[in-house]
């Protein structure tokens, strides 16, 4: 059995020609005036170039252009995103911000291999442990990258083969992820088809005809009198259900409790939100919610229906149809990034009406079909999480030297430019010593030139004084 070649470690600075941060610019635009300014959001979480959002800035100088095989490292971000790294695959006239660091490697080191390695360290939490923390941000300095960050050293053909296999496996993985996401989208279509069919063919009436009472939520955020009472906020809503993980309590008087308490089968409408997709959605309160004593804030409207002729869950599902969502979108009011619907807008929605037993049967049929969707969707989410874990596992094996099989290892050892890691390191050391000697020789030469210049100046000065004396 062939074992992998011996790998060694070196500082990133030892194998780099340059480690250089970019420059800031407050004079930016999104319309293409100037040079594309490569920023943290231009690297995806998977370590790929992402230009869906771009800013352009004036050119400082051409030394900041990004060229083919440049490694770009995100040096400032949230602790979770810090260290995103990608490779530039072509010569560009893009420049890069001070939140990015450009790394250019010496020959015999494949930038693609080291870009993948630097990005892999983000997954391991390495940067989170070693960063400098600031207000809401963290950073990794160029000095740390240069002097403290150790990277693996292995033969160049092995670097190339590992990169090639990573890209092959990632391509297969990405195809699988794309298929899973396509299945997610198809499930959304199926859900809408189930809802559309369930409500077809019934007479429609204004929602107001079925509403016994409606009430906007309480606006106060604190109180000194009364009893501690949970008050529902937008933060307490998850998947259109009440989330009990971190409720906020304030003191409410008995009259406020009577006015704002939620009861079983109340329909709570999201009145205002930054997301248009959430505004107008309904939450149905359960018996548990009733017993746990919730009031609701002014971001919601409570609708209590006449239970003698309505099943609230029937209308909870109807409000999820595309027809209702479109009506809400067309009639909401948007201002300062917030979107709002009024009681009158919601009450004006035309809703299907049928007998109480029919409503009960329809709800049961909807839930039977949607429960299958929920199970499939959960399986998809689980597989997407596994795919992300597999991506990290591939990188872990790659940088432990365990990704290539025996045949692949034999092929890289037969490459003309194969040489052991220790030879690569020796060359680095020799170059370092040679560069020191060269710098020393240059310094000595400059000193000699300066001394000669001083002698010439002194001689010229003496001659000038002699001329004056004459």
Give the mean model confidence (pLDDT) for residues 319-331: 97
Question: Which range is least confidently modeled, 20-29, 201-210, 273-282, 456-465?
Answer: 456-465
The pLDDT value given to residue 364: 97
Residue 1's pLDDT is 43
pLDDT of residue 401: 93
Q: Over the chain, what is the mean pLDDT?
A: 92
* In contact, 316 and 267? CB cutoff 8 Å: yes
- Binned at pLDDT 50, 70 and 90, residue 428 comes out as confident
372 C-beta neighbours (distance < 10 Å), count: 12
Q: How confident is the model at residue 223 (pLDDT cuts 50, 70, 90)?
A: confident
pLDDT band at 431 (very low <50, low <70, confident <90, very high): confident
pLDDT at 136: 87
- 167-181, 362-376, 421-435, range with the lowest pLDDT: 421-435
Share of the chain above pLDDT 70, in %: 91
Both tokens of 39, joined, read 């920023």
Answer yes or no: same fold for 9-153 and 203-353: yes
Q: Are strands 150-153 and 8-11 parallel, antiparallel or unpaired?
A: antiparallel
Q: What is the DSSP string of 74-126?
A: E-EE-TTTTT-EEE--S----EE-TTEEEEEEPTTS-HHHHHHHHHHHHHHTH
Residue 251: is its pLDDT beyond 80? yes
Mean pLDDT on 424-451: 69
List CB contacts of 96: < 8 A, sequence separation 6 or more. Answer: 22, 37, 38, 39, 64, 66, 72, 102
Q: Is 124's pLDDT higher than 90?
A: yes
Distance CA 249, CA 158 (A): 60
Domain 203-353 has CATH 3.30.360.10: no
Q: Tell me the pLDDT band of 21, cut-offs 50, 70 and 90.
A: very high
The domain segmentation of the chain, as residue ranges, is 9-153, 203-353
pLDDT of the residue at 128: 95
Looking at residue 466, what is its pLDDT?
59
161-185 burial code (b ≥16 CB/10 A, e <16): bbbebbeebbeebeeebeebeeeee
- Which residue reads 């069919």 in tokens? 197
Q: Has this prediction a pTM greater than 0.95?
A: no
> 184 — phi, psi (to 5°)?
-60, -45
Q: Which fold has domain 9-153?
A: Adenine-n6-DNA-methyltransferase TaqI; Chain A, domain 2 (3.90.220)
> Looking at the predicted structure, is the pLDDT value of residue 216 above 90?
yes
Give me the half-sphere count of Cα atoms (radius 13 Å) on the Cβ side of residue 453: 6
Give the lowest-confidence range in 19-23, 26-30, 143-147, 171-175.
26-30
Distance CA 70, CA 88 (A): 5
Q: What pLDDT was estimated at residue 132?
A: 95
Instruction: Mean pLDDT check: name the lowest of 100-104, 136-140, 380-384, 434-438.
Output: 434-438
């Amino acid at each position: 059995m062939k074992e992998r070649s011996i790998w060694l470690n070196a500082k990133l600075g030892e194998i780099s020609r340059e480690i250089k941060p970019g420059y800031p610019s407050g004079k930016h635009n999104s319309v293409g005036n100037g040079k594309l300014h490569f920023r943290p959001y231009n690297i995806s979480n998977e370590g790929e170039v992402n230009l869906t959002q771009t800013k352009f800035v004036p050119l400082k100088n051409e030394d900041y252009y990004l060229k083919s095989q440049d490694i770009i490292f995100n040096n400032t971000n949230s602790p979770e995103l810090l260290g995103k790294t990608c490779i530039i695959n072509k010569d560009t006239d893009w420049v890069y911000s001070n939140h990015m660091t450009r790394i250019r490697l010496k020959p015999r080191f494949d930038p693609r291999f080291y870009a993948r390695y630097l990005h892999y360290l983000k997954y391991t939490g390495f940067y989170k442990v070693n960063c400098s923390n600031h207000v809401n941000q963290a950073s990794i300095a160029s000095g740390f990258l240069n002097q403290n960050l150790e990277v693996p050293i292995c033969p160049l053909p092995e670097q190339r083969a590992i990169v090639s296999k990573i890209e092959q496996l990632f391509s297969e993985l990405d195809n699988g992820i794309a298929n899973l996401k396509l299945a997610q989208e198809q499930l959304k279509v199926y859900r809408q088809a189930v809802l559309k069919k369930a409500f077809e063919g019934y007479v429609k009436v204004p929602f107001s005809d079925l509403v016994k009472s409606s009430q906007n939520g309480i606006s106060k955020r604190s109180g000194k009198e009364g009893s501690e009472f949970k008050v529902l906020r937008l933060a307490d809503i998850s998947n259109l259900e009440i989330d009990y993980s971190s409720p906020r309590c304030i003191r409410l008087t008995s009259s406020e409790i009577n006015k704002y308490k939620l009861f079983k089968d109340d329909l709570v409408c999201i009145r205002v939100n930054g997301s248009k997709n959430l505004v107008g959605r309904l939450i149905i309160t359960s018996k548990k919610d009733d017993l746990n004593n919730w009031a609701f804030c002014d971001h919601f409207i409570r609708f209590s229906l006449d239970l003698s002729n309505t099943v609230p869950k029937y209308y909870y599902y109807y409000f999820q149809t595309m027809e209702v969502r479109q009506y809400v979108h067309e009639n909401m009011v948007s201002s300062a990034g917030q979107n709002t619907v009024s009681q009158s807008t919601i009450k004006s929605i035309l809703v299907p009406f049928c007998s109480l037993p029919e409503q009960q049967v329809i709800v049961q049929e909807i839930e039977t079909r949607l429960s299958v969707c929920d199970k499939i969707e959960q399986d998809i989410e689980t597989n997407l999480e596994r795919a992300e874990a597999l991506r990290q596992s591939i990188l872990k094996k790659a940088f432990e030297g365990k990704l290539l099989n025996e045949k692949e290892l034999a092929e890289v050892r037969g490459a003309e430019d194969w040489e052991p890691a220790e030879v690569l390191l020796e060359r680095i050391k020799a170059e370092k010593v040679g560069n020191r000697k060269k710098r020393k020789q240059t310094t000595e030469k400059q000193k000699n030139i300066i001394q000669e210049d001083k002698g010439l100046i002194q001689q010229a000065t003496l001659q000038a004084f002699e001329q004056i004396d004459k």
